[in-house]
Structure 1
Amino acid sequence: MIMARSWMDMLAVLLLAVSFYKGSCVPVETKESWEYVDVRDGAHMFCWLYYGNSSSASYKDLPLVMWLQGGPGGSSCGFGNFEEIGPLDRDLKLRETSWVRAASVLFVDNPVGTGYSYTDTEDALTKDVAMVASDMMVLLKSFFSKQTEFQSIPFYIFSESYGGKMAAAISLELTKAVQAGSIKCNFAGVALGDSWISPVDSVMTWGPYLYSTSLLDDNGLDEVTNAAKAVLEAVRQGQYQKATDLWSITENVVEQNTNGVNFYNILTQNSDEMVKTSSDQTNGFLSSLKRRHIRPLHRQSLSELMNGPIRKKLGVIPNNVTWGGQAEAVFESMAGDFMKPVVDIVDQLLAAGVNVTIYNGQLDLIVDTMGQELWVKQLKWDGLQYFNKMKWTALEDPQTQRQTGAFYKTYKNFAFYWILKAGHMIPSDQGPMALRMLKMVTQHE
């Protein structure tokens, strides 16, 4: 194994925006550091920190945000960084809505096997969110022990998709670790974006949502509903591996009845970079998940960037590791846990006084807002009845005056943001609104 550079060695590194292969050198004065942390024998997790770069505040006066991607198997250091909230976009151009303008951002390729993270054998891959959370406690203990200046800075976990399911479990374990004194940090809250908290509630609302947006007719609604009911029955019987397979079948039914709707944004066509290849011609569960939920996070141009110039820049990636090379194996390893709900974990977080934020894109299908609202209504949190009686507040679109960009409401330690004109990847679709939401949640607006 190639040993990672230490945090201190990398502390003063500056990000060079386009010097890698564009022939020019435009420095972005954002300090960075990165390293591998061995979270278990044979399990190596990669993380990349950008220090907050605000014109009006030092990073010590800004919050620290950890970003967790979905999948499972999607790379925070790749997709989240270069496609959503990092200082540069996939073309290495400055991102005006980068979250680094309002916070220090820690990208973690999680679970192990994701992105640049890797395992020595497939047996070391995680099997469920409990194992994911256990690994993350090792990484966070290492991070806050080395980066002592962040111990008192408000620390938030933001997530997307399956990353939200993992974030919930991680947040609960972190709360326990902080209380026990084993991890020193100022944990301030978790934000669950378009998150796979109650999978069956998402699946059961696909039909009604598509029907209400004129993407299904009566016959299509019946077919999707019947397929979804089979998923529900498997979940009720505790047959979660079967439920995952039936979930994939339900997606096939949706595609057949909608002329291939984009699960991540119902008004957007799938990327040309995600067309079928010869390897996709085989039938089966793995082929379907790869096409719908792994490849969108590993499009060709991003893969070329991460396995080319960025790999060279980092200088610590072992020769036998390919960015995203274990992504499919990560998903397969977690398949038995995929359809399990974690609503009870959210309840435990709220009861413990942890600040919990839900945010969801209006145009998302895979985790539609209707499904999110269903599981929220299942919470046993004692503030839910008061939250439900509240009216939401409109937020103006930061880009267009006198147009509504979102709604939100908050009661005690729970908040919900409805982001308009956005799909599954909210920062990609509505970057200014996502940045404003970040500032509101972290109270640094």
Structure 2
Amino acid sequence: MGLRGAAASFSFLLVIIINKGLPSPLTGKEAWSYVEVRDGAHMFWWLYYADDQPAGYKDLPLVMWLQGGPGGSGSGFGNFEEIGPLNRDLEPRKTSWVQAASVLFVDNPVGTGFSYTDRADAFTTNVTMVATDMLVLLKHFFTEKAEFQNIPFYIFSESYGGKMAAAISLELTKAIEQGTVKCNFAGVALGDSWISPLDSVMTWGPYLYTTSLLDDYGLADVNSAAEAVKQAMEQQQFTKATELWSVTETVVEQNTNGVNFYNILTQQPDERRFSSAGENYIALQTRRHIGPLHSQSLSELMNGPIRKKLGIIPQNVTWGGQADLVFSYMAEDFMKPVVDIVDQLLKAGVNVTVYNGQLDLIVDTMGQELWVKRLKWDGLSGFNKLRWTPLDDPTSPGITGAFYKTYKNFAFYWILKAGHMIPSDQGPMALQMLKMITQQA
């Protein structure tokens, strides 16, 4: 086990900025490195120190961002498409989270983004392995970056990243109690998260029907396909359930003329719709859900100037080159719920936030509310008695941008006019939510 490559600190993307002839947007610091979390399994991390003057990073929290997929890259998509200091065109992002926190992107599971494995048996196959790997990385990180040990540390996540975040948070809580990891863990935020996959699938039909995207025939077709997923889950045939989930998505596409699972107000591009002759469900789902996180322009950026800037990426490693394998190896675990882990986190006193986009289909809010209402947490009845509070859109005073409820150590944010990728769709609202969760607003 050990660090691979020396961590580096420079002004934000200075090398790229000089090459592009752009003015420097910030005067902060960065660091990045590899950790070999298991023999043959190498995880990449990239840290941006908070650059909110005059506070400085020591007065602001540390946020770790986990992407979905599994196989989506935080160092790529999360960084340049959602919350990093620069966008994909290397222009300053006005709603960057680095204004309010130091941000740590980790490419996980191994094989994601710039993370890589040396051989096939080094890929993870379930969230337990994912959490174990992350604990190795976090132990190294907080040892090497001891200045962050007392700074409030939050895990924020999106999509399948939320499922991983829940499992990681529970193991981190145990590790802190045992003294094996030194950090000030302050909470986990689950964004449009794959916590209870079956609840999502079972509500696709009703959600699309009530938003006028299915007729009666389409509703019957989608509900029938979803029921098959449910039966497989009840029989604990988890790989079959993943395959039938893919079939249900195809039924949705056929009955909606290709609605976009990430935002119901848009349509899937033609190249991501429907299955081709002889194409297995893993290839189809990789095209549907891993492909959007690896656009040609983002891939060219990551494998070109970013790779050159970082200077530690092995010659045989391509950003996103193993993403399809990551998804494939996690297929059996994909549909398994982790609601029980959320309950354990709440019982342990961990601050848990759920946030969801109004226009998201793949993890629709209806499904999220179903599993939340089944929590065994002793504060649930108190939470349910609360009415939600409206939040103004930061860019449009007087216009509602979100609603939220918070009770004891649990909170729920309903983000309006946002799909699956909330920071991309509603950047100002996402930044305000970050500040509220980390108690800066």
Equivalents in 2 of 1:280, 1:81: separation in Å? 32
Residue 359 of structure 1 corresponds to 355
* Residue in structure 2 matching 1:391, options 363, 387, 403: 387
SS in 1 for 2:43: strand
Assess, with a 3 A threshold, how the Cα gap between structure 1 residues 28 and 17 changes in structure 2: closer, same or farther: farther
Give, as a single letter, the amino acid of the residue that structure 2 aligns with 1:141.
Answer: K
Gaps of 5+ in 2: none
Among residues 215, 229, 232, which one is paired with 1:234 in the alignment? 232
Q: Quote the residue 1:5 is aligned against.
A: 5
Does the 8 Å CA contact 1:17/1:27 hold for their aligned counterparts?
A: no
Distance 1:297 1:374 in 2: 28
Equivalent in the alignment of 1:77: 75
> Is 1:344 the counterpart of 2:353 in the alignment?
no
Superposed displacement of residue 122, structure 1? 1.6
Contact 2:142–2:182, Cα closer than 8 Å, also in 1: yes
Equivalent runs, 1:100-179 vs 2, <5 Å? 100-179=98-177
* 2:432 paired residue number: 436
Alignment-derived partner of residue 190 in structure 1: 188
Asked if structure 1 preserves the Cα contact closer than 8 Å seen for 2:11 and 2:27, the reply is: no
Go from structure 1 to structure 2 and tell me whether the alpha carbon gap of 1:301 and 1:280 turns closer, same or farther (over 3 Å shift): farther
| 3-state SS in 2 of match to 1:359 | strand
* Distance in structure 1 (CA, Å) of the matches to 2:116 and 2:313: 10
Aligned CA distance change for structure 1 residues 280 and 74 (closer, same or farther; 3 Å): farther
Which range is displaced more, 283-292 or 89-98?
283-292
Secondary structure of the 1:322 match is coil
Matches of residues 10-409 of structure 1 in structure 2 within 5 Å? 10-16=8-14, 19=17, 21-26=19-24, 28-270=26-268, 275=271, 282-409=278-405
- C-alpha displacement of 1:28: 2.5
**Amino acid of the residue matched to residue 345 of structure 1?**
I
SS in 2 for 1:308: helix
Residues 387-429 of structure 1: CA deviation (Å, up to 9, x unaligned)? 0111000000011121100000000000000000000000000
Q: CA RMSD in A?
A: 1.6
SS of 1:275's equivalent in the other structure is helix
In 2: Cα distance, 1:36 partner to 1:18 partner: 21
**Structure 1 consecutive aligned stretches of length 4 or more whose deviation exceeds 4 Å:** 279-282
Q: Deviations over 1:360-384 (max 9, x none)?
A: 0000000000000000011000000
Q: Within the alignment, does 1:422 sit opposite 2:418 as a pair?
A: yes
Quick check: 1:227–1:253 contact (8 Å CA) kept in 2?
yes
* Uncovered stretches (5+) of structure 1, i.e. residues with no partner: none
Deviations for 1:189-245, whole angstroms, at most 9, x for unmatched residues? 000000000000000000000000000000000000000000011111111000000
For 1:394, give the aligned amino acid: P
> Which stretch has the larger CA shift, 243-252 or 18-27?
18-27
2:92 match: secondary structure: coil
Residue 284 of structure 1 and its aligned partner are, at CA, apart by 1.8
Q: Measure, in 2, the Cα distance between the counterparts of 1:166 and 1:183.
A: 18
CA separation in 2, counterparts of 1:176 and 1:94?
38
For residues 24 and 418 of structure 1, do their structure 2 counterparts lie closer, same or farther at Cα, with a shift above 3 Å needed? closer
Q: Distance in 1 between matches of 2:415 and 2:306?
A: 32
Cα distance, 1:24 vs. partner?
4.0
Alpha-carbon distance, 1:27 to partner:
5.1
SS at match of 1:267: strand
Give 2:359's aligned amino acid: L
Cα deviation, residue 44, structure 1: 0.1
Choose 96-105 or 287-296, whichever is displaced more.
287-296
Q: Is the 8 A contact 1:86 1:98 kept in 2?
A: yes
Tell me if the contact between 2:272 and 2:288 (Cα under 8 Å) persists in the aligned partners: no
Deviations 1:113-170 (A, max 9, x none): 0000000012100000000000000000000001111000000000000000000000
Distance 2:322 2:253 in 1: 27
CA distance in structure 1 between the partners assigned to 2:282 and 2:202 by the alignment: 22
Distance 1:110 1:316 in 2: 17
